[in-house]
Structure 1
Amino acid sequence: MALEVGGKSVETDEEGYLVNLADWDEEIAGELAKSEGVEMTENHWEVVNFLREYYNEYQIAPAVRVLTKAIGKKLGPEKGNSKYLYELFPYGPAKQACKIAGLPKPTGCI
């Protein structure tokens, strides 16, 4: 499958995750978010950028429990809880946010 963004074609798998992580940029993230029905705000970008940093450091997309705890440490307890994250990413903070961040689907996500 392919996603058309700004005149270039970006390959995605059957679930809409980027095949090549290097293809990611903010414009592509915006298109992925749109396809997920997510209206990107500063708070969404904060989580997406956090995930990309996490992935760069550990080479793995965190499962939701790990994500919640790590965000709480970095951004504070009011953001490090699943209620807040599910408000931003209703279809699953780990799964949906990783897709928008151009990362592979987290292990343990169905």
Structure 2
Amino acid sequence: MYAAQQSALGVSFNKKGFMADFGAWNHEVAAALAAEQGLELSECHWAVIDFLRDYYEFHEMPPTPKVLIRELGQRLSPHTPCTKRKLEGLFPGGGCKQACQIAGLPDYYCHSC
């Protein structure tokens, strides 16, 4: 296991920058993580983040990018089809993996992204 690091928000992270405790996540933590990575979270970002958290909470694993795109396609891009490229545009620091990190999912589950 990775040595945990404590953030200014009082949340522990592993060496890869993923949260150590899924339950310690909140919107403030997500916004701070995003800001550290140069992102200002829009409504589309929150749709992805909230979907990832809900999906993980129910299935105990993150959705594949294909499932994410299929489920969120209309919310992310109502007039044009949602693609993996658009998802990566929202999270340019790693697409689905960056989204998982900001959503507070454990890193060992984000291999499917």
Q: Unmatched 5+ residue regions in structure 1? A: none
How do residues 1-110 of structure 1 correspond to structure 2 at under 5 angstroms? 1-5=5-9, 9-72=10-73, 75=75, 78=80, 80-105=82-107, 106-108=110-112
Contact 1:85/1:93 (<8 A) preserved: yes
Q: For the residues of structure 2 that align with 1:26 and 1:61, how far apart are their CA atoms?
A: 18
Alpha-carbon offset, residue 3 of structure 1:
1.3
TM-score, normalization by structure 2: 0.80
Q: For the residues of structure 2 that align with 1:63 and 1:4, how far apart are their CA atoms?
A: 31
Matched residue SS, 1:4: coil
Q: For the residues of structure 2 that align with 1:89 and 1:26, how far apart are their CA atoms?
A: 17
- Regions of 4+ moved over 4 Å: none
TM-score, normalization by structure 1: 0.82
Alpha-carbon offset, residue 87 of structure 1:
1.3
RMSD value over aligned CA atoms? Answer: 1.9
Contact 2:88/2:96 (<8 A) preserved: no
Q: Unmatched 5+ residue regions in structure 2? A: none
